[in-house]
Structure 1
Amino acid sequence: MEQMSLSLSGTGYSRVGDAIRERIISGQYQPGVRLKINDLCTDFGISSNPVREALQQLQGEGLVVILPNKGAMVRSIDEDLIRHIYDIGAGIDGILARRCAAMATTAQVEKLRQMQLQMERYDDLGDEVLRGRLNGEFHSELGMISGNLEAWEIRKKHHILIGVIRLKYGHAPGRFAEVKVEHWAIINAIADGDPDAAEFAARHHCLRSCEDALAQFRSK
């Protein structure tokens, strides 16, 4: 593996964390793989302190577990983990959507509509990468509109872990057709200024995604 030398000018640990996170998300570091500090130091060409801090950061994001006398490893995926992430997500997404319905401006609603339409264009072109990236931006926009940035920060960490799960296990064929309907239900409820409908639509979307993720996990 090619060695990567990182600057330690105050942000060394965050740069190491970014690099390790990228390798986890890309699948280069698979769930259950040991992350040995000495190997990471050699790999990145840095000392152990920023590596330790980076692993602590990634543990906080749920991507890494650090066990006494065993060290760090990429978090293993099981049904309970998938269910728990989506259960928490459904609660947070409902809160965010509810606030969006009470606060969103006409311009913000229009931006959500345009993002969804662009997602559908990417889907028509078969570009799953850009469609997935824009899906993340769509949910981020909901977080920003809600104004509850603390809740969104928690949810954002879960989105990273969900990305790892989806990369490994994928989606059911035709799932995006369902997502399209679910997204429009959220957008329309926000446009109508209906907090109850927005909360219901957002929770439903998250829980349907959970069902799909569990089905894909069980099929592998």
Structure 2
Amino acid sequence: MAEIGDFKAKPPVETDPMGASSEGASLYQLIREDIIEGRLAANERLVVTDLARRHGTSTNPVREALQLLRGEGFVIFLPNRGARVRPIDQDFVRDIYEIGVLIEPALTRWFVNMATGEDIAELERLEGLIEENNFADTFRHSELDTAFHTVMYQRHYNRHAAELWWKHREVLRAVSRRFNFTLARRAAIIREHRELIAHVKAGEADKAAELVSRHVEGSGRHILEQMRARNAARAG
């Protein structure tokens, strides 16, 4: 694991969009990141020739990438209007975190039954860094928190489930970076991480899975509350 200064969370699996050419898969990653980070704005029209020119490629890989993004819900196709960026709005965030509530408990239950002493030590090390940072650097917290959960999911036999978790988490991470953690949410994260480690140590798979379900739902609801508050402030 990297030291504090150059720490960066990495995906649990190498993301490889199914059925895409190597160029189409590469463009899919680039355009997806532009959407998540807001470099491509909500409802912005995605013109195939413009994207091909921007990325120095032909139009076929761009079409591939847009179809992959359509399948994930990041791009919508409208009759006579072509492809557009789907807004990462409250409904989209809700859908993503609700999928996490379904997937992550299953991944966690498997991990508890397979966890080694080294795994537990790594969870404790990362939680120590999270608490040492104490939300002072929100980007660093995001990286450490993602690494914490990656320890549990990175060796799962269902690589598609692990990849889906990572992709959805990246969306939620990008959205959450726009807001500050409330004091209540900060306390909940620390408490739930500590409880989770205790369940892993005790081999309590069902309790760990139940806790992770609450943890993911709490995170999703916190983001939605922040989004609603910002929208209300703008409307006012």
TM-score normalised per structure 2 = 0.79
Q: Percent identical across equivalent pairs?
A: 33
Tell me the CA shift for residue 94 of structure 1: 0.9
Q: What SS does structure 1 have at the residue aligned with 2:154?
A: helix
Which residue of the other structure, out of 143, 148, 156, is the alignment partner of 1:133? 143
Q: What amino acid sits opposite 1:203 in the alignment?
A: S
Aligned residues: 209
Q: Pick closer, same or farther for the CA change 1:137–1:31 going to 2, 3 Å.
A: farther
State yes or no: 1:117 paired with 2:119: no
Shift of 1:103: 1.2
Q: Quick one: which of 20, 43, 46 aligns to 1:32? A: 43
Q: Is the 8 A contact 2:108 2:209 kept in 1?
A: yes
Instruction: Select between 48-57 and 147-156 the one with higher mean Cα deviation.
Output: 147-156
Where in structure 1 do 4 or more consecutive aligned residues deviate above 4 Å? none
Tell whether 2:225 aligns with 1:206.
Answer: no
Can you list the C-alpha shifts for 1:181-218, whole angstroms capped at 9, x where unaligned? 12222221111100111011100101111210110111
Tell me, which stretches of 5 or more residues in structure 1 are unaligned? Answer: 1-9
Letter in 1 for 2:222: D
Q: CA RMSD of the aligned region, Å?
A: 2.1
Check the 8 A contact 2:142/2:173 in 1, yes or no: no
> Match for 1:173 among 164, 167, 182?
182
Selected match of 1:84 from 77, 83, 95:
95
Report deviation, 1:68. Answer: 4.3
Residue of structure 2 in register with 1:58 after alignment = 69
Say whether residues 1:161 and 2:177 are aligned partners. no
Paired amino acid for 2:52: C
Answer whether contact 1:171 1:213 (CA < 8 A) is retained.
no
CA distance in 1, matches of 2:53, 2:36: 21
Name the structure 1 match of 2:207.
Answer: 197
Give the 3 Å change call, closer, same or farther, for CA 188–149 of structure 1 in structure 2.
Answer: farther
- 1:57-113 deviation per Cα after TM superposition (whole angstroms, max 9, x unaligned): 223343323344332222223333222221211111111111112111111111111
Structure 2 spans left out of the alignment, 5+ residues: 1-20, 231-236
